[in-house]
Amino acid sequence: MKHLVVLYALICTTMIATSLVTGRRATVKTGNPHYLLTRTTVLMEKKVEPENEIDAELDALFEEAGETSLMTVEEPMFVLGFLDATGPVVAGGAVVLGMVAVVRRLRRPRSALGTKTAD
């Protein structure tokens, strides 16, 4: 049982640390919070080079009018979410460990006085 608890603690710690690091990295890069749901891409505001002359003219007109010419693009980046990955694993593992502890306690032989018998 001791090994199972240590393994559970290591897995939970690793998942929480990964979730925090990947969420923080995505938040810093995009400026928007990304920590609740697992993602493989994040949306970023980026300056995109125009593909043709008409797009270049439109970008110039937007800039003259004081509008931003940044485009929203998807960038590949892994984010391990708390809500859909880390949280359920931590909670599910705690429930399983609790059930194992209860079952082990119920199966332990007891004497009439309620103390553990000598094996």
Q: Full-prediction pTM beyond 0.75?
A: no
Residue 7 Cα distances to 4, 13, 15, 97, angstroms? 5, 10, 12, 11
> pLDDT tens digits, residue range 15-74?
999 999 999 998 888 888 877 888 888 888 888 788 888 888 888 888 888 887 777 888
| Those residues with Cβ within 8 angstroms of residue 11's Cβ, 6 or more apart along the chain or in another chain | 89, 93
Domain-wise residue ranges, the chain: 2-103
